Amino acid sequence: MEFAHYTLKGDHMNGAHHRWIQPPQVAYFVSTVDSKGNGNVTPVTMGTCIGNQFFSFTLSNLRERAWDQDENDFTEGVKQGYCNLLDVPECVISYYDHSLVRESWIAAMPIPKGINELDVMGLTPLPSTIVRPDGIAQCPINLEAKVLHTHKLGAKWTNFICEIVHVAVDKKLDEANRTGPRAGYGSGILDLVFEVVINKGGTPDTDNMRLVYERLDPKTNERCPEDVGVRDEWIGGFEPFVREQCGRGKITDAEMARIFDLQELWAQNRDPVSNAAVKAELTALLKKSVAL
């Protein structure tokens, strides 16, 4: 391969396409409310969740004109959802599927401040359990969240780090995730949509600037290979992993014993220069253990 190289400097991409850095993101709505009780729904495709028992969700596409702008002054280029999160730091994150693509486009339009996109879309509010904004009844998954931290990102963006405090899931989806043919897939059961690009279609009938989505296709789901890894665990420990590979005939008993010896020698000195020989031999044997 030959590579094109781009050095990012602050807010300047220097010719790099943003999709080289950020893959297509799953689409969702963020519902917020101001201190007067006016609701807002913002379609969002930049953000992610991390955690296990404690979940934090990061929203990173609520644009602002200036970091110190008056949050009560809704001007062009400033998202109402951004202003509301500064005013009332709570929200509902609602995953939607392909059936609500048109509604997501409507929510992205320049709706006046204080007019709830939920009403314009013709959707139904879902009363929240903990936070003040409502969720969306037509969305099968609604995550109630509270803002923990707010950070400036460059000149035009704000990063809201939220704690997920409550989850409302459609009962049919919840049951399908427990006992259906795709049990355990969670939101992957849905016909989710992902933002790919915003561009023109290239023909007279599709010449308006539009958002392009892609969709998950369950038929393309693929299991990891069955000849690698611990049989009853994901991911399992190092020793069980090596023993499983030996049991599959990928390496001999002698090679397995050598791997364990090398691992101990490498653990004592992980300097890639002074302990280069041990590192190289261990790497080669591990590579052999997973080869086809």
Distance of CA 229 to the CA centre of its chain: 26
- The residues with which 31 forms a beta bridge, in sequence order, are 41, 92
92 and 142 Cβ atoms separated by less than 8 Å: yes
pLDDT of residue 67: 44
Helix (H) or strand (E) holding 98: none
> What are the DSSP calls for 167-227, one per residue?
EEE-HHHHHHHHHSTTTT-GGGGS-BEEEEEEE--SSGGG-S-EEEEEE--GGG--PPPTT
Q: Residue 256, Cβ neighbours under 10 Å: how many?
A: 19
Q: What is the DSSP string of 99-142?
A: GGHHHHHHHTS-PPTT--HHHHHT--EE--SSSSS-EETTSSEE
User: Is-contact 245 229, C-beta < 8 A?
Assistant: no
- pLDDT tier at 68, thresholds 50, 70, 90: very low
Distances (CA, A) of 285 to 229, 246, 260, 292: 15, 11, 11, 14
Alpha carbon of 144 to those of 10, 30, 189, 279: distances in Å?
Answer: 32, 10, 21, 48
Report the range of poorest mean pLDDT among 153-157, 213-217, 220-224. Answer: 153-157
> Closest by alpha carbon to 215, among 99, 69, 106?
99
- Taking alpha carbons only, the member of 166, 100, 83 closest to residue 132 is 166
pLDDT tens digits for range 7-64: 988 778 888 888 888 888 899 999 999 999 999 999 988 888 888 778 888 887 666 5
CA distance 186 to 71: 37
Q: What is the pLDDT of residue 69?
A: 46
Strand partners, 90: 146
Give residue-wise pLDDT tens across range 191-220. 999 988 888 876 777 778 888 888 988 888
CA distance linking residue 10 with residue 198, whole number of Å:
23
CA distances for 39 relative to 104, 114, 163, angstroms: 16, 7, 20
> In this predicted structure, what is the pLDDT of residue 78?
66
The SS3 of residue 60 is: strand
How confident is the model over 75-128, as pLDDT tens digits? 555 678 888 999 999 999 999 999 999 999 899 888 888 899 999 999 999 999
Q: How far apart are CA 138 and CA 160, in angstroms?
A: 25
Q: How far is CA 48 from the centre of its chain?
A: 3
Map out the domains of the chain as residue ranges: 18-220, 238-290
**pLDDT score of 72 more than 80:** no
DSSP H or E stretch at residue 262: helix 253-268
18-220 folds as Pnp Oxidase; Chain A (2.30.110)
